[in-house]
Every structure is written in C-alpha cells, then in structure tokens.
C-alpha cells in the first residue's frame, strides 16, 4: 500500500484533473461528451478508492499516536471535503462510531463556539441524555454552631426552587458549492465550521440571556431571573455602574464581567471623570483588546438591548445542559443537481440561571 504522503498527492492530482474537466465544459457552456463522461466517472471511482485508503491510514494513525494534531486535523478536513465532493463519506470517529463525519469536525465547531461566545465558554456545562432537574437555592443558608451533644435539626427543601432543563433542539444548515470544497478543501471546511459555530454560538448566547421557557426558547434566562438594580433615565452614568458593582456579592466579582450591546458600550466609553479622563481603560490580553470600567471587564454582545446592562459571573450563575457534542451531518443528494452540498449542525441543549447571587441587571424601572 502507498504511504500517506503518496496517497494525498494522488488525491490532489485526481481532484485537479476532475476540476479541469469541469472548468472546460463550463467555459464552453456544454455538457460532457460520452468519452468525457466515462473518463470523469473513472477518475471519480479512483478518487473514492484513494479516499478510502487515506481514511484507513488516518484511523490507524489516530489509534497509534496523538502527535502532530494540527497536521492530522488538516488532513482529515481535506479528506472529508474530498469525500463530500464524490459522495464518499464514512465515519472516522475511532471511539464511538456514532457520527456521520470525522469527530474532529464536531470538536472544531464546539471549540469555535467557545471562542466566539465567552458566555457559552464560561457557563458551566453538564452532559445529560434526558431532562435534568436542578435545585436552585432561593436564599443563602448556613450551617449551625452546635453544642457537643446538641441534635442537628434537618431542614426541608422549601427554600429551594426546582428547574427542569429539557432537550431543546438547536440547529442550522449551510449550503456550499462542490467547487469550493474541491479547489480548497481545508480552507472550505474551516470556513464551514466557522459559520456553523457562529450561528450556534449566537443562538445559545441569546437564549442564555433571553430565554423565557416558552415554545422555541430555552428555560428562563438571565433577564428573567436575575435581580434588578434600578437606574434613572435612559442613559448610563458612572454612578449607575458603581451601584451595580457594589450590589453584587464581592466573592463573585473577580471573574465577573459587564455585558452590554454596542450602543451602551459607546455610552460608557464617553463617561469622563472630573479631569476629563475617560473611565474606560484599554488592555491587550493575548492578541485581543480588553476594555474595563471601574476594574470590571466589558463584553459586547448583541443578545442584549439598549435597556439593560448585565453584571455577572457566568461560570457561577449559569448552567448549560447538553445531550452530546455538536452533530454535523452532510446532505449529499438533496442539492446534488445544483452542484452543491448541504451541511447540518445540530445539538440538544438548554440553560438557566442557577445562582442569582452571582448576577445583576442594570435597568431603568418605571
């Protein structure tokens, strides 16, 4: 059997020959001749065989070593894209054999979701196949200091509220041309993964803030459950932010952030002290800009409206229930006539606030 490098080169050669034939008939605005059609089918059959051999080699490598992860990921993406083009998609998850695509793609989508949405990234995630019941403490309770022989009196759960997180389906679909995947398979799949992740991340972030337990939405989210700190008028004053920060339990402040939309961020950026210096400060963490006001980091999110600003330690305040990783499924036949491929990404999840002590909302109260 040829080694992996030779197989990858052979696959690229076959793809270039097939694309050259497609470009020729497209330029000449005609269909394949009988001879060209036969030649194209022969190339396609040969490409399927090469992809099959690469799959076998990749599975063997994944079992034997975890090294060279980036190169392995790129090769898997390229081979999967090539398989989509010729309709040869087979599972490469060497652990569960559960998905219709390489597990690296599902993992890549989840990773990109966490990069896109800090809210989803920081929320506590629990994997549960069915409904998940969570007891939420309404008020902080304490243990008791007892005498040496004093009896401990049990307390019931009347101070708790039960929330049931359900399996709420979240999904999206992209349609991509086969030409894109054939010309640049790795970049094409990276683009697809990024787009799928962005759509899912935006939806999950929106529901974490705005869920109201109605049809088509998550369980009650931050805006429905978090305590409100009142402010006057429609603008934002530095005293409003100071009041918001001092209202939350200090133990949650080290990892707390201010969440607001871009319009409110622009307002905060214009707040000045008595000497004309802005309260907003700017840092660079890694390669990303980070803004702070009164020592608290700011995250801009379009999930919030102009009416609210949220201060919260998301890791302590929010729990996200997930049934499984993101499932990515190709639709090969539905769009075949138009030279396209559909890619579906979906999962089952839900979210709610489990600790209202770790979150506050700044809002004008009429």
Assigned domain for 88 exists:
yes
Domain assignment present for 308: yes
Per-residue pLDDT at 6 exceeds 80:
no
Tokens 């008020």 -> residue: 139
**Residue 91 lies inside a defined structural domain of this protein:** yes
Q: Which of 129-138, 180-189, 225-234, 255-264 has the highest mean pLDDT?
A: 255-264
- Is the Cβ–Cβ distance between 59 and 51 less than 8 Å? no
Q: Which two tokens stand for residue 217?
A: 């939405």
Q: How confident is the model at residue 156 (pLDDT cuts 50, 70, 90)?
A: low
Check whether 67 has a pLDDT greater than 70: no
pLDDT band (50, 70, 90) for residue 97: very low
Q: Is residue 108 part of a domain?
A: yes
Containing structural domain, residue 207: 103-137+159-366
Looking at the fold, whether 321 and 181 belong to one and the same domain comes out as: yes
Q: Is the whole-model pTM more than 0.75?
A: no
Longest dimension (CA), the chain: 97
247 with 110, same domain? yes
Residue 184 lies in a domain: yes
Q: Band the pLDDT of 25: cuts 50, 70, 90.
A: confident
Res. 20: pLDDT tops 90:
no
Same domain, 118 and 220: yes
Q: Residue 68: what pLDDT?
A: 46
Alpha carbon distance 335, 342 (integer Å): 7
Q: Whole-number mean pLDDT of the chain?
A: 82
**pLDDT exceeds 80 at position 286:** no
Q: Based on the domain organization, do 93 and 107 belong to the same domain?
A: no
- Cα–Cα distance, 264 to 303 (Å, whole number): 13
Neighbours of 352 (CB within 10 A): 26
Q: Do residues 280 and 354 both lie within one domain?
A: yes
Same domain? For 89 and 165 the reply is no
142 in any annotated domain: no
Instruction: Give the total number of structural domains in the chain.
Output: 2
Separation CA 349–CA 169 (nearest Å): 7
Name which of 26, 27, 19 is nearest 43 in CA terms.
19
Q: What is the percent of the chain with per-residue pLDDT over 70, rounded to a whole number?
A: 80
Cβ contact 353:208 at 8 Å: no
70 shares its domain with 118:
no
Do residue 94 and residue 107 come from a single domain?
no
Residues 212 and 335 in one domain: yes
Question: What are 58's strand-pairing partners?
Answer: none
Reported for 248-255, long-range contacts at CB under 8 A and 24+ positions apart, including other chains, are: 248/311, 248/357, 248/358, 248/359, 248/360, 249/357, 249/358, 252/313, 252/316, 252/317, 252/357, 252/358, 253/296, 253/313, 255/122, 255/313, 255/315, 255/316
Q: Are residues 77 and 224 in the same domain?
A: no
Q: Give the span between the Cα atoms of 300 and 310, in whole angstroms.
A: 11
CATH code where residue 237 lies: 3.30.2400.10
Verify that 89 and 209 share a domain, yes or no: no
Q: SS3 for 139? A: coil
**3-state secondary structure at position 57:** helix
Residue 304 lies in a domain: yes
The token duo for 13 is: 């050669």
Report residue 14's pLDDT band, with 50, 70 and 90 as the boundaries. confident
Closest CA to 52 of 17, 98, 14: 14
Q: Decide if 147 is inside a domain.
A: no
Residue 72 has pLDDT above 60, yes or no: no
pLDDT for res 28: 80
Instruction: Tell me the mean pLDDT in the region 111-123.
Output: 93
Q: Quote the pLDDT of residue 99.
A: 36
Whether the Cβ atoms of residue 166 and residue 214 lie closer than 8 Å to each other: no
Three-state secondary structure call for residue 354? coil
Residues 185 and 275 in one domain: yes
């Amino acid at each position: 059997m040829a080694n992996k490098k030779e197989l990858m080169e052979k696959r690229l050669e076959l793809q270039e020959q097939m694309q050259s034939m497609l470009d020729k008939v497209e330029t000449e605005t005609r269909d394949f001749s009988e001879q060209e059609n036969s030649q194209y089918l022969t190339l396609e059959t040969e490409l399927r065989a090469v992809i099959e051999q690469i799959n076998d080699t990749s599975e063997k490598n994944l079992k034997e070593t975890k090294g060279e992860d980036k190169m392995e990921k790129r090769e898997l993406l390229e081979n999967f894209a090539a398989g989509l083009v010729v309709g040869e998609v087979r599972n490469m998850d060497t652990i569960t054999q559960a998905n219709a695509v390489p597990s690296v793609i599902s993992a890549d989508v989840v990773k990109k979701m966490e990069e896109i949405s800090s809210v989803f990234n920081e929320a506590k995630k629990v994997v549960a196949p069915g409904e998940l019941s969570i007891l939420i403490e309404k008020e902080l309770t304490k243990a008791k200091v007892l005498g040496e022989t004093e009896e401990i009196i049990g307390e019931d759960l009347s101070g708790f509220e039960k929330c049931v997180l359900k399996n709420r389906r979240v999904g999206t679909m992209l349609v991509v041309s086969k030409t894109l995947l054939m010309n640049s398979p790795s970049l094409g799949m990276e683009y697809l993964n990024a787009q799928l992740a962005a759509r899912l991340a935006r939806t999950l972030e929106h529901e974490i803030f705005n869920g109201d337990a109605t049809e088509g939405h998550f369980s009650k989210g931050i805006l429905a459950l978090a305590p409100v700190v009142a402010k006057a008028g429609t603008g934002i004053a530095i005293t409003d932010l100071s009041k918001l920060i001092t209202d939350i339990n200090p133990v949650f402040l080290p990892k707390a952030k201010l969440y607001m939309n871009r319009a409110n961020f622009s307002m905060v950026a214009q707040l000045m002290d008595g000497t004309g210096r802005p309260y907003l400060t700017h840092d660079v963490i890694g390669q990303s800009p980070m803004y702070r006001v009164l020592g608290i980091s700011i995250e801009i999110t379009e999930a919030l409206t102009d009416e609210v600003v949220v201060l919260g330690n998301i890791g302590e305040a929010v729990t996200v229930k997930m049934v499984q990783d993101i499932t990515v499924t190709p639709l090969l036949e539905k769009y075949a006539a138009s030279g396209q491929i559909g890619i579906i990404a979906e999962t089952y999840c839900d979210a709610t606030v489990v600790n209202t002590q770790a979150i506050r909302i700044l809002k004008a109260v009429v």
